[in-house]
Structure formats: C-alpha cells, structure tokens
Structure 1
Amino acid sequence: MTPEDRFPGPELPDSGPRHQPDLDVLPYGSYYEPEPEPGFEPEAGYGYTTTSGYGGARFLEAHWPTASQQAHPGEPVHPQAPAAEDPPTIELGPPLDKFGKPIEELNFPYPQPEPGEAPGPLYVVGDVHGYLDELLAALHQQGLIDAEGHWAAGRSRVWFLGDFTDRGPDGIGVIDLVMQLAAEAAAAGGYCRALMGNHELLFLGAAKYGDEPVQSTAGTASFLAAWRLNGGQQQDLERLQTHHISWLSRLPALALEDGHLLLHSDTTAYLEYGESITEVNDAVHHLLTEEGADEWWDCFRRFTKRFAFRGDAGPQAVHELLGAYGGQRVVHGHSPIPYLTGSTHLDDGTPPHVPGPYIYADELAIAMDGGVTMEGRLLVARLPLN
C-alpha cells in the first residue's frame, strides 16, 4: 500500500499548466540558498537528498489522517492539559467590505463558544501561491469548508503560513477567501488567521514602490522587477484594493499555538527583529507603516532566506528560535518539500512525490509547502494538540 493509498489528498482541479519554478530569486539571479555543509555530496540527479545525516527527515504520515479517520472539525477537543492563552499577535481586525469599511453585523448560523470550553482542533495551511481551486479542494477535503466555500469547521483554529499570491492564477481570489473565512470562523467561535510570507512583502512592495530603485546586495533593483521575476501576476496587481492592502499589512510574522512555533520562512532571520514574538511582529508592522523602501526591501531579503533547518546544524538553528520564542517544534512553509527532499521533477517529467507534511531536523521542524506550483500538493494538516 502506498502513502497515497493511506493518506489520499483531494483530486487537484485543473488551474492551468504548472511551470517548473525556481526558488525565490532576486534580480541578477542571486539565490538565497546556503552553501552545502562540508563533506555533503548530493545524490546524482538531485539538488539534495534525504538521509539520516540530514536530521532523520521523514514525512509526517502518522499525523496525516484520511477524512474517515479524523474527528469532525466541529466536535470539541479535550486536551490533556489546560490550553494557554492565545499568543500576542497583531490581530487581523474586523472583516471589511469591498470599500475597506468594517462590516458591523454578521449573520452566520453558528453558536458562540461557552466560557471555559476547550479550544477547537488546530490546522495549518501551506503556501497557496494563487491556486484557489486547489485550496478550496484541500479545505473541503479536511471538512473545514462546505461545498459552497463557506466555513464549516465550527470552533476549529486555522493558520495560513503565508504566500497567497504569485505564480498561480488567482492570488486575489485566495486573499478574498481567507478574509471571508476569517469573518465566518470568528462568528462560529473559531478563528482563521494568517502569517506574513515573503511574497506578501514582495507583493505589497510592488504595489507601493513599483519601479522605485532600492539598494540590493545584487545591485540596484526594484520591487516590481523582483515581483515579476518571482511569478507576479499582473491581474493580481490590477485587482488589489485598499482593504486587501490594509489586511495584508497587519499580518503577524510569528505565532505560537499548542507548542508549535508557526512561521513562514525556514530561516533564523526572525531573530534579527526581536527577542519575543511581540517584538518581531511589532517590528515588522512598524517597518511596513513607517520605514522606507530600502528597509522594506531588506526585510523581504531576510525573509527570503531558506534551508536553515537542514543539515547537521539544522536542529541547533531550530533550538535558537524555540529558545527565543517558545514552543517545542517549528512549523513553516516557504521551502517546497520537493526541494528539501531532492524529489523535484525527474528528467522524464514525473511530478514530485509529496505524500504529506515533512518532518525533519531531529523531528523539530515540520515543512508545509507541498510544492503546488510544481505539480506537488497543497497541504492542509491538523496538528496534534499538546
């Protein structure tokens, strides 16, 4: 029996042809990829391979249940220990209408939670990159939305790990859906929240600064040029509205849920912005509202770094983040699992093999970017409660 037999994913809709993407790149072809560890020899035909020397990496199949195996998302969950209070993050605020004004009244047929009730189950969603149909299919397969695309998960908690736009056909549609689900989940006594990804920084920068020159380590560049180079879709920029900008600009960079440190990028660059989750989120928010193009670009550059948790030094890098911000394990997107495992498209065009989330770095890190842009998989996973 194959992993797909035990842990089937939804049938992916046809959103058009997938183009084999590069990793995120700055102008002039400067990749943010660390040098291989001394003595490391990649397997022939692959960029990197998966071995016990790479932190004992494996797919997180034990926590990737089929729809029949998982509890209904609306059912109460009773953790073994009392749940901690929600971590300090930048709140997403009330839902907004198409003119950017708060919606005062909501009418959703869900009961509010009773005081003292245990928190609902926790889900995370990997990089979407504009693939709206695939997102709808994955959320529906997990029971988080109904057939009409509305919240159906009761008091569940959902975190998107960032990168809503670029490369895929409908980034604005993805943002609209997440904003809608945030409102509907709140009315149901759950929540749907999202993190700031490096593509959010890039997309907002392209909208704000356009072709204005910024000082890059690769020379003079611009947000618009870098955005186009990294799969920016012109229709997304044309459809971007004020309420989208307001919502995206307030997304937090870090969150802590049930002992899981949630972040977009597999990098330790977050440590350069603060010694606590609150400090990092406040610093990024201040940068987006008060600082200039060069500072914004530097933030994008830092959060585009990747692969900090691979190799012999990977577990130590995870411990640095956990020591500063708390938690027992990091959960991230950003670096596609096929790149982490060396299972990108083979010479015969075979799509990458992604049976589920990927756990590595001495089981301290979980990767959630299933490589949907490269015919992989858009991952939605329920995390175990402490």
Structure 2
Amino acid sequence: MTPEDRFSGPEPHRTGPHPHQDLDVLPYGSYFEPNQPQEYPGSPEDQPDEPDAAFHGYGGARYLEQHWPVAGHEAPQAAGYPPFQPVARTADDPPTIELGPPLSLEDNPYAATVPAQATDPGPVGPLYVVGDVHGYLDELLTALHQQGLVDSEGHWSAGRARVWFLGDFTDRGPDGIGVIDLVMQLAAEAAAAGGYCRALMGNHELLFLGAHRYGDEPVQSTAGTASFRAAWLLNGGQQQDLERLQGHHISWLKRLPAIALEDDHLLLHSDTTAYLEYGSSIDEVNDAVHDLLADEGADEWWDAFRRFTKRFAFRGTAGPMAAGELLATYGGHRVVHGHSPIPYLTGEANADSGEPPYVPGPYIYADELAVAMDGGVTMEGKLLVARLPVD
C-alpha cells in the first residue's frame, strides 16, 4: 500500500501544463550555485551525481510523508473533498505570542472588508508554513483548503491558526498578482479571527520589485552589465503580473520581513547563509533589507537579489554546520526554508525519467536541522502546506 492509498483525496487542481523551469539563473545564463564558504568543509560539488547517492549523502536527509487531511480545527467540507478530522487542542499547543500591530488600510486594503477582532479571541492556534507558490493560484487554494485553512470560496476558515508564506509569490505561473491579493486578503481575515497570515520576502519579490522600479536600467553584475527586467524575464517573469501591479502591492511587498522566528523554527526563504551578511539579529537583517529597498539604488538592490538567490548551503557534508551557524546566530532549533525545489535537493531532478517528481511532503535534511518546503510546483511537483513541527 502506498502513502497515496492511505491518504486518499482529490488530485491537486492544475492550471494546465507547467513549463519546466530550471533553477534561478543570472542574466549571463549559468546556475547561481556558489561554492560553500571556506570555513565549511566540503561543497555540493563533492556529492555524487546519481540520485540515490545524492539522496543519502545530504546530512541524514529524509522525507516527511505529509498528506492532506491534517487539521487542528474545524473546516467546512466542499464537494469533492474528503471530510476534515478535527484534533483536540492539548497543552503542547504553541504558547500565546504577540500578534503585532493591526493592519492599516494603506498596507492592506482588504483590512476594511472584515470585522474587528474580538477582545477575547482565546488560545493561539497551530502554526503552518507554505512553500513557493510562483503564481499557481488554483493549486494554492486547493492546498490551503485541503489543510482546512480556507473554505470552498477561498476565505479564511482556520480561526486562530497562524500561517507563514515563505516567499516567491510571482513568476513562472499564470497569476502572481492573484496570489498576492489572496495572501493580503487572508492576512486581513485571519487577523479578524484572532489568528494571522504573514509572509517572508523571497528573491523573486526582490526581482519583481526591481523589474518594476528599474526596468532595463543597467546594473553591475559579476559578469558585466545586466538589468532587472532581463533577469526577471529570464526567470519566468509574467508581463501580466507587472501590468497589474499596484501601489498597495508594492507597499506590502517592500515591508515583508526577510527572516522570522516562530515556535523555535527559523523561517527563511533561501537556503543560504547570506542572511548573516545583513546583521547578527533578526531585527537587524529585516531593518537592513527594508532600509535598502527604501533608500538604496539599483546596484544595491541587485546585490541583495544576487545574495538571496544563492542556494544549497545546507546540502552536503557542510550543510549541518551552515544551518547550525544560522540557528546559533538568530535562534531556533531548525531552519525551515523554500527556494530550492526538493527534487533538486534529493537529486531526483537529475533523473531523466520523464515522470513528474515524487514529492510526498516536506524534506528533512542536514542532520534534521533543515526542512525544505519548495515542493517544485513549477516542475509538476507539489505546492506544500505543512503544519509545524514536522517530524
């Protein structure tokens, strides 16, 4: 019996063929996969090329076979979906945390369409993370509904649950602006219900904003002159997203944090140690990125995009040391990230079988110090939504 037999449910909705897109590239056309920092022994290039060997060589990696009927709260059942099974709250649920200031209309116009939050909302709810979406709105709605986070009409149905998106809302898929609108809508609806829906800034947010602000203006890259628009198009930029981008989208995107700590999980978009170059605390990193986007020029924006496009820092024999350095600096017991599709981390993307990659759930690796959440939706994989902790 396969895991799919044990956890039967509807196939994720597909918006159509997903044109295969390799890893992010810089305008001169090579993969941006830098060597490990010198202080870490080994590098990704030391790993074998065979998929099986690669899977077993990445610091004690394993899949979490996570499937859809996982819920910590009531949710309505829609036609064609399996019934959700509520789970009783226990003393092990996450402690109450500060939910932060209320959303303003300037930051999120959806805040005006939902009622005010109750004065006694009750205990905090479970914590979820969402991997890279890349414009696949229908797949996102299906995945959120399967976890009981939205109802059949796409509205928040999770009460005081907490959700973090790990970045990369746009590019490659058909409706990046629709994804941003949905996340902003859910942020307002969740706040009114006593929960929250928040998001990190990914490298594609930097790229998208740069394409809007700087267009074809030359920037100095390590390989000569480039531009944000050229890099954006090369990495799956969709013209309709740029045409539909509005001021409130820009304001919201520019204020996204780059890094967060929730329930002892260090949440990042990119599997890189480049965050260390922006500060020795979470606040310092986020302030540095926000200051850069507010005041600096095209070359500084480009440098930030270049740094946060790095990947694979937690892979290989040096991976646990790299993840451990981030955890020692910013806190937490495990890194949770998007950015690098799981089929590339496992080596399955190198297998020329012609079949869609097998992604049963989040991928735990680097001696269990890291969890990868990019299920490879852009390459016919899966858009992952998972409840933390995963074990």
TM-score, length basis structure 2? 0.89
Instruction: Find 1:42's aligned residue among 15, 39, 49.
Output: 49
Show CA shifts across 1:325-367 (max 9, x none): 1000010000000000011274341010000000000001000
Match of 2:196 in 1: 191
Q: Does 1:72 align with 2:82?
A: no
Q: 1:295 and 2:300 equivalent? A: yes
The aligned counterpart of 2:28 is 28
Instruction: Using the TM superposition, give the Cα deviation of residue 77 of structure 1 relative to its aligned residue in structure 2, in angstroms.
Output: 3.8
> Does residue 1:83 correspond to 2:95, yes or no?
yes
Alignment of 1:279-358 (within 5 A): 279-344=284-349, 346-358=351-363
Cα 1:102–1:142, aligned 2, differ >3 Å: closer, same or farther? closer
Match for residue 150 of structure 1 among 130, 136, 155: 155
One-letter amino acid of the structure 1 residue matched with residue 347 of structure 2 = G
Q: Judge conservation of contact 1:131–1:174 (CA < 8 Å) in 2.
A: yes
- What's the counterpart of residue 217 of structure 2? 212
Equivalent of 1:114, from 120, 140, 143? 120
Cα drift, residue 72 of structure 1: 1.8
What letter matches 1:57 in structure 2? A
Provide the C-alpha distance between the structure 1 equivalents of 2:334 and 2:132, rounded to a whole number of angstroms. Answer: 19
Query: What CA distance in whole angstroms lies between the structure 2 residues aligned with 1:348 and 1:303?
Result: 31
Read off the aligned partner of 2:48 and give its amino acid letter. E
Matches within 5 A, 1:210-289: 210-289=215-294
1:133 paired residue among 138, 148, 167: 138
CA distance in 2: counterparts of 1:70 and 1:154, whole angstroms:
12
Residue 6 of structure 2 corresponds to which residue in structure 1? 6
- The alpha-carbon deviation at position 13 of structure 1 amounts to 2.1
- Does the 8 A contact of 2:67 with 2:360 survive in 1? no
Counterpart of 2:55 in 1: which secondary structure?
A: coil
Contact 2:96 2:123 in 1 (8 A): no
Is 2:60 the counterpart of 1:56?
yes
Aligned position for 2:370: 365
Aligned equivalents of 2:295 and 2:91: distance in 1? 41
- Whether the aligned pair in 2 keeps the contact of 1:337 and 1:371 (CA below 8 Å) is yes
Taking structure 1 as the reference length, the TM-score comes to: 0.90
**SS of residue in 1 equivalent to 2:304:** helix
Q: Which moved more, 1:16-25 or 1:232-241?
A: 16-25
Aligned-residue sequence identity (percent) comes to 72
Distance 1:215 1:140, change over 3 A: same
1:155 Cα deviation from its structure 2 partner: 0.5
Q: Distance in 2 between matches of 1:182 and 1:219?
A: 41
Deviation at 1:312, TM superposition (A): 0.7
The answer to whether the Cα contact below 8 Å between 1:357 and 1:381 also exists between their aligned partners in 2 is yes
Which whole-Å CA distance do the structure 2 matches of 1:9 and 1:204 have between them?
37
| Distance of 1:182 and 1:216 partners within structure 2 | 36
In structure 1, the gaps of 5 or more residues are none
Alpha-carbon distance between aligned partners in 2 of 1:378 and 1:105, rounded to the nearest angstrom: 30
The more displaced of 30-39 and 243-252 is 30-39
Deviations 1:276-322 (A, max 9, x none): 00000000000000100000000000000000000111001011101
Which amino acid is 1:17 matched to? P
Partners of 1:39 and 1:130 lie apart in 2 by 34
Please give the per-residue CA displacement for 1:173-207, whole angstroms capped at 9, x wherever unaligned: 00000000000000000000000000000000000
Distance 1:229 1:251 in 2: 24
The CA deviation at 1:41 is: 2.2
Instruction: Give the gaps of 5 or more residues in structure 2.
Output: 36-42, 76-86
Change over 3 Å in CA distance of 1:113–1:157 after alignment to 2: farther
Deviates more, 1:326-335 or 1:347-356: 347-356
2:84 — aligned with what?
none
Name the amino acid aligned to 1:204: L
* Kept after mapping to 1: 8 A contact 2:265/2:336: yes
Task: Using the TM superposition, give the Cα deviation of residue 7 of structure 1 relative to its aligned residue in structure 2, in angstroms.
Answer: 4.5
CA contact (8 A) 1:92 1:247 kept: no
Could you tell me how far apart the structure 2 residues matched to 1:342 and 1:321 are?
24
